Amino acid sequence: MKIYPKMPCSTVSSWKQSKVNRQLCRFLKKINKCKVNRDDLFVYLFMLITIVVIVFIIILVWRLGGDRCNGQRIKQALCKEYNNGVITGDLCYSICIEKSIPLHYCVSETHSDITYRHEESLIKIQKYPAVETLPYPISLETFQDKVFQFLQYNLGEIDSPQLFDRVLGFTDFNANGEMNYAESNTLWQLLHTREFFILLIFQDEASFPKINGTCGSAYAYDYIPSSPLYQKKSDVNPVMQYFFPNYNQWMLPSWEKRAQIAIGLLELSSILTESFSTKFYMCDIKHTNFGVSTDFEAKVVNLESVMSEQQLLHSGGKKRCYFDSECSYGIGCSMSCDVNSRTCSNVPRRPAVSFICDILRDYVLFDSPEDCKFLFESLISQCQSLTSLNHTISHNVIPNKIKDILWNQVKNKPVDWLKPRKKRSVVQKNVPLKKAKKKLRV
């Protein structure tokens, strides 16, 4: 092939049968500093057009591919039900009538639902109905009875009239104090969506995202920007890890802010067990299931893993077993197998707070202030060793000591040190709902 560089350009440029030759030719021409002739001009023009076409196709695919989850069909079905008066909700108005929520940006898809992102909210649409629509017509008494039975089945004997009122009051969208068929049906669909049910129960708690509109079984809630809570060393790619051993700690908020977040996590563990007459468990307590809001509040991002004692029982508690390993529903819900009765117990072996302390060890202990580090470390170790039994007996003594240490470090901060907090709590409360109510009345 030595002959090539010696060829005069005119010879080479007539060799245009194949792409390879053409490229070779141009390459040689550059070397030989030949003049561009007409044929080459044609080649350049052709290449330019090809590039333009490719860019155009990429843009087209990107635009159309925005709806990667093929949600248009599901959206149409949702709006059809809305127009037929089977379902209702403030979100329906925005999606179907106002069309202000385009549902283009699909974040994730599972076998049962699609999640979209719209501004600061996530919108989750169910692919299949979780439950049959209610018979039409249905009287208010019958419906209330059904809801009551539903709550009893899922939460056991609840002694909280507020909870019952909150659930029933949730879908009175036109605020007329009555429930029409679409409203009852919407609530019925939503209650059977497990994640939503948990969200609704814990709506007043800072560690749960806020609901921001519903439409049938679809619902919107706060998008939590920083999740997971942090990266474990083992999550970091080994090459990065080698050159920057502490890479996973670079992006963390300041220690004081993490202390504030940690207090929220510790409070969450008591909220789960003490809010109602029934206990709730988080069957998968790990750093990836939490996030941090812009106002430095720890938030649960994986609601699927939160279950009431009753729900856990229905999904297999008290089942026959030979080994502890047969009684596990995720790390937070590992029960023991009772050797005498050969059934799974219905209390997890480790309390939620001990898992939270696993997280705190990674998240706040390593750079905690020197004056409290020693005590802090010993308390964290004790907290991690808690079993459900000694946690029940000592009842929060150790977690409360940890909270005190953290609190002592942040209590003297100026009021607005986590600035966005104030602004958001004003925005969050009531605004979206009121707006929706007004819209519907028109």
Nearer to ligand NAG, 9 or 365 (CB): 365
Footprint of ligand NAG on residues 384-413 (CB under 6 A)? 385-387, 390
| Minimal distance, residue 319 CB to ligand NAG, in Å | 25
- Identified binder of ligand NAG from the candidate list 2, 84, 119, 412, rule CB under 6 A: 119
User: Interface with ligand NAG by CB under 6 A: which range of 119-127, 157-165, 178-186, 409-417?
Assistant: 119-127
Which pairing describes strands 113-118 and 106-109: parallel, antiparallel, or unpaired?
antiparallel
Which residues, other chains included, contact 124 with Cβ-Cβ below 8 Å and sequence gap of 6+? 113, 114, 115, 116, 195, 218, 219, 220, 221
Nearer to ligand NAG, 93 or 276 (CB): 93
| Minimal distance, residue 60 CB to ligand NAG, in Å | 29
| Minimal distance, residue 435 CB to ligand NAG, in Å | 8
| Minimal distance, residue 394 CB to ligand NAG, in Å | 7
Q: Which residues of 137-172 are buried (b: 16+ CB within 10 A; e: fewer)?
A: eeeeeebeebbeebbeebbbebeeeebeeebbebbe
User: Interface with ligand NAG by CB under 6 A: which range of 108-116, 161-169, 232-240, 378-386?
Assistant: 378-386
Is 428 near ligand NAG (CB under 6 A)? Answer: yes
- Identified binder of ligand NAG from the candidate list 89, 264, 291, 432, rule CB under 6 A: 432
In 56-174, where do the E strands start and end? Answer: 106-109, 113-118, 121-126
- Identified binder of ligand NAG from the candidate list 184, 308, 328, 382, rule CB under 6 A: 382
> How many residues make contact with ligand NAG (CB under 6 A)?
15
C-alpha to C-alpha distance for 253 and 260, rounded to whole angstroms: 10
- Which helix (H) or strand (E) segment holds residue 190: the answer is helix 181-191
CA distances from 319 to 305, 314, 338, 342 (A): 20, 10, 10, 8
C-alpha to C-alpha distance for 192 and 299, rounded to whole angstroms: 23
User: Interface with ligand NAG by CB under 6 A: which range of 3-11, 74-82, 303-311, 425-433?
Assistant: 425-433
Cross-strand bridge partners of residue 292: 226, 298
Is 121 near ligand NAG (CB under 6 A)? Answer: yes
Q: Please answer whether residues 138 and 181 qualify as being in contact, where contact means their C-beta atoms are separated by less than 8 angstroms.
A: yes
| Minimal distance, residue 81 CB to ligand NAG, in Å | 19
- Which helix (H) or strand (E) segment holds residue 144: the answer is helix 140-155
- Identified binder of ligand NAG from the candidate list 109, 120, 338, 362, rule CB under 6 A: 120
User: Interface with ligand NAG by CB under 6 A: which range of 113-121, 162-170, 189-197, 310-318?
Assistant: 113-121
Handedness of CA 205, 439, 173, 186 (dihedral sign): negative
> Helical H runs in 236-369?
238-243, 255-274, 309-314, 352-360
- φ, ψ (nearest 5 deg) of residue 345: -75, 165
| Burial of 64 from C-beta contacts in 10 A (0-12 / 13-18 / 19+) | exposed
- Identified binder of ligand NAG from the candidate list 113, 222, 297, 309, rule CB under 6 A: 222
| Minimal distance, residue 395 CB to ligand NAG, in Å | 12
Nearer to ligand NAG, 3 or 393 (CB): 393
Binding-residue pattern over the window 56 to 95 for ligand NAG, x denoting contact by CB under 6 A: --------------------------------------x-
Is 213 near ligand NAG (CB under 6 A)? Answer: yes
Nearer to ligand NAG, 269 or 382 (CB): 382
Nearer to ligand NAG, 116 or 188 (CB): 116
Task: For residue 364, give the DSSP letter.
Answer: I
Q: Please answer whether residues 219 and 328 qualify as being in contact, where contact means their C-beta atoms are separated by less than 8 angstroms.
A: no
Is 212 near ligand NAG (CB under 6 A)? Answer: yes
Nearer to ligand NAG, 213 or 291 (CB): 213
C-alpha to C-alpha distance for 95 and 388, rounded to whole angstroms: 46
Compute how many other C-beta atoms are within 10 angstroms of the C-beta atom of residue 375. Answer: 13
C-alpha to C-alpha distance for 383 and 279, rounded to whole angstroms: 20
User: Interface with ligand NAG by CB under 6 A: which range of 243-251, 272-280, 354-362, 426-434?
Assistant: 426-434
User: Interface with ligand NAG by CB under 6 A: which range of 174-182, 201-209, 290-298, 383-391?
Assistant: 383-391
User: Interface with ligand NAG by CB under 6 A: which range of 34-42, 117-125, 129-137, 352-360?
Assistant: 117-125
Q: Which positions lie near ligand NAG, rule CB under 6 A?
A: 94, 119-121, 212-213, 222, 382, 385-387, 390, 427-428, 432
